[in-house]
Amino acid sequence: MNTNNGTAQCARLLKRLQMEPIDTLTAMRELNILRPGARIGELRDLGHEIFTHRIVLTDDQGRTHRRIALYFLSTNPPAGVSV
């Protein structure tokens, strides 16, 4: 079953976070999560230690976005970012 309810979105997002950090735009595009920040909040409420680092990204249309959230688990920080 291919579901897109909040529980399924949280499961997809947590699975990805366990592999690598993910930014808001990628979560929307690749994981089909419309509001990644809301899912992160739900995962935090469940006790997952998720951190946010702000980055600058260019989207698929070539537009630059500042302060995009890059989410990562405390056990899997991106290179150059300390917890």
**β-bridge partners, 69:** 54
- List strand residue ranges (DSSP E) for 1-83, in order: 22-23, 50-58, 64-73
pTM of the model: 0.88
**β-bridge partners, 55:** 68
Angstrom distance (rounded) from CA 69 to CA 54: 5
Q: Tokens representing 5? A: 């309810």
Tens of pLDDT, residues 35-79: 999 999 999 999 999 999 999 999 999 999 999 999 999 887 788
Residues 76/21, Cβ–Cβ less than 8 Å: yes
Tens of pLDDT, residues 10-42: 999 999 999 999 999 999 999 999 999 999 999
